Amino acid sequence: MYSPYYPHPYPPPKRGNGFGVTSLVFGLIGLIVFSWIPVLNVFIGIPLALLAVIFGIVGLATSGSRGGDGSGTGGTGLFLGLLTIIIVICMWSWIFEAI
């Protein structure tokens, strides 16, 4: 005879990496929206890019404890944050060279 009470299975482990996703979102917003507007890129684009770099590094560091989950989003966010910083520096050097 079977028991009418079956033990509940364990919930699946939490997957994904919130730091990596946050880094990717900040990197995309900083690159697409704020890196091309001359005044806003310093006040909004650079802080978003710095947050993307910080969250990207943390996301890459914590992905090892999650079995590699989130290393792609963290690395992409880190890359986009660095790319945003480079574009902002190039834009400002181009603007001040023309003056």
Which tens digits make up the pLDDT trace of 47-96? 999 999 999 999 999 887 777 677 889 999 999 999 999 999 998 898 88
Stretch 1-18: mean pLDDT:
72
Phi-psi region at 70: left, alpha or beta (left = phi > 0; alpha = psi -120 to 50) = left
Stretch 7-27: mean pLDDT:
83
C-alpha 86 chain-centroid distance = 16
Q: Which are the contacts of 80, defined by CB distance < 8 A and separation ≥ 6?
A: 24, 27, 28, 30, 31, 49, 52
Q: How far apart are CA 48 and CA 15, in angstroms?
A: 25
C-alpha 59 chain-centroid distance = 8
* Residue the block writes with tokens 């917003």: 29
Query: pTM for the whole thing?
Result: 0.80
Q: How far apart are CA 28 and CA 76, in angstroms?
A: 9
Q: How far apart are CA 83 and CA 9, in angstroms?
A: 45
